[in-house]
Structure 1
């Protein structure tokens, strides 16, 4: 297989309501049947009006950004300093929910397309009306677990299978492949980024020479569900969740430590069983405090236990 990756230049700034198919075919009259069109999600979002107005600078801008982030977040995966990794409502795990402040004026933030697969299908249909049979990939940039650096991946796709499934095939040594499924639309998105760049104003590229027969079900096929995700939380978040789970193994309800940050616990009675339950409750309280990143100290006297937050 021989592939060519061709930049589509001259598209210019995209605004809400723009016809992407029209812009692309004017900029790339050489687009041909069988090509794979890779379109940066940002121009899709701009054309679909997925922009949010925010203050240009100051603390108000950051406050507004955090509010937007909360609205785009299905769950928080990890936080480290100013960086927040979240799962979006699409199911993508990304820094800051893919919200972008680059290549847009300072008074706006760009959100991801609401439904990237639907956006890809709509663009493919629009191009088909112009007589072109091409596959479409909507791409964006993501970080990768365990590796430094960023790469482009597919958020949406139409006309092309997301995965190339090698299961059931045999390698040259006669070994059956039982797990291998290649995320070809991610590979094509990453390849296209090589000619698009991040500051060259080239939001579209064409991959020519890849055989993509088959409609596919979209990029959503690549989203791993939480139940099968072995790394669905960051290290600190997983530890905190484990502590919370350990503290709530039964129907026990945590007492409120209050603003004084001091909690006094006393046994229900004088029996050894009552004293054991008191110790268990004190341990659970400290587990919950640790899950929230708070240190505590414990002291005992004849009447009960005192737990004090120390940090």
Structure 2
């Protein structure tokens, strides 16, 4: 391994972090302005954004605003979906959509397809969500409805951050989250699907530990850690808390996106 200069201190976190759910977010529909929704919720909570604040949104409200609704009744499965659906005992229409949202199938088991999503990460069933997934005004005879992930969550995060930065004249970041399972561990945890304005990976290589040993492999997944903390207060069921504020960090503005978190497929031992 080549020697590196000590890592720059472009990110800091103190001994206390505030993770606060922001109430009052309505059911988001296609075409709604997420900036107006976020600002309205912050104003009702009497919150002004400060330097270092991170605004965290659940991907579902981004998908709904961007119109990522799919009526499975409109999907005609192809041969691959029909075969995989039979193998894993899954609706072949849903399997067809999973295949369309993916660039490859990594593993398969009853009820689940582990795929590499078109956005580059590995997840179950391409992150497609069937809960609270119908659009307003959906005909009773339509469906079942599902939501795909946002088309470009990094771009969505960057667009929202630009408006919030202009509105509050401060250095803030935006993280868009989803939840996934992990190899060898039970349960789901939040992760950064999209990010803008902060270093998503804190490279500590070149820094020293308390005993003077130089770190040669330590990289902290900052955006994923923020997403996991926000996921605790946002909830996964009927909480209805898709907007979270994380306060207590200090960081230099960054052009990094969530893609910096992706492992090269050739180096991914779990894919």
Q: Normalising TM by the smaller chain, what interval?
A: 0.7 to 0.9
1:26-45 equivalent positions in 2, closer than 5 A: 26-29=40-43, 30-34=47-51, 35-45=53-63
* Distance (whole Å) between structure 1 residues aligned to residue 131 and residue 22 of structure 2: 20
Counterpart of 2:254?
Answer: 215
TM, length-normalised to structure 2: 0.81
Tell me the SS of whatever aligns to 2:189: strand
**1:231 and 2:270 equivalent?**
yes
SS in 2 for 1:87: strand
Decide which moves more: 66-75 or 27-36. Answer: 27-36
Match of 1:15 among 24, 29, 34: 29
- Measure how far apart 1:132 and its partner are: 4.8
Q: Secondary structure at the match of 1:114?
A: coil
> What is the CA-CA distance between 1:224 and the residue it aligns to?
0.6
Q: Secondary structure at the match of 1:90?
A: coil
State the distance in 2 between where 1:86 and 1:230 align.
14
Encode CA deviations 1:264-307: one digit per residue, 9 max, x unaligned: xxxxxxxxxxxxxxxxxxxxxxxxxxxxxxxxxxxxxxxxxxxx
User: Relative contact order, CA 8 A, sep 6+: which one is greater?
Assistant: 2
Q: 1:123 to 1:152 in 2, by over 3 A?
A: same
Find the partner of 1:52 among 61, 70, 79.
70
Structure 2 unaligned spans of 5+: 1-13, 83-89, 135-142
CA distance in 1, matches of 2:29, 2:192: 22
Distance in 2 (CA, whole Å) between partners of 1:90 and 1:77 is 15
8 Å contact from structure 1 (residues 38, 137) kept in 2: yes
Q: Which residue of 2 aligns with 1:180?
A: 218
* Cα deviation, residue 151, structure 1: 0.2
Q: State the Cα distance separating 1:129 from its structure 2 match.
A: 3.5
Alignment of 1:57-96 (within 5 A): 62-96=91-125
Residue ranges of structure 1 left out of the alignment (5+ in a row): 233-311
Which of 156, 163, 178 aligns to 2:194? It is 156
> Over aligned residue pairs, what C-alpha RMSD do you find?
1.9
Asked whether the 8 Å contact 1:25–1:31 carries over to 2, the reply is no
Asked if structure 2 preserves the Cα contact closer than 8 Å seen for 1:52 and 1:111, the reply is yes
- Displacement of 1:193 in angstroms is 1.1
Larger radius of gyration: 1
Deviation digits for residues 210-236 of structure 1 (CA, Å, limit 9, x no counterpart): 11222141111001111111232xxxx
Counterpart in the other structure of 2:184: 146
Conservation of the 8 A alpha-carbon contact between 1:38 and 1:189? yes
**Cα distance between partner residues in 1 of 2:181 and 2:270:** 15
Map of 1:3 onto structure 2 = 17
Q: Of 204, 229, 242, which residue of structure 2 is paired with 1:203?
A: 242
Q: Give the Cα separation in 1 of the matches to 2:258 and 2:115.
A: 18
- CA distance 1:85–1:178, shift in 2 (3 Å): same
User: Is the 1:162–1:216 contact (alpha carbons within 8 Å) kept by the matching residues of 2?
Assistant: no
2-side partners of 1:124 and 1:154: how far apart?
15
Contact 2:48 2:168 (8 Å CA) reproduced: no
Q: Give the aligned partner of residue 207 of structure 2.
A: 169
Runs of 4+ residues deviating >4 angstroms = none
1:24 alignment counterpart: 38
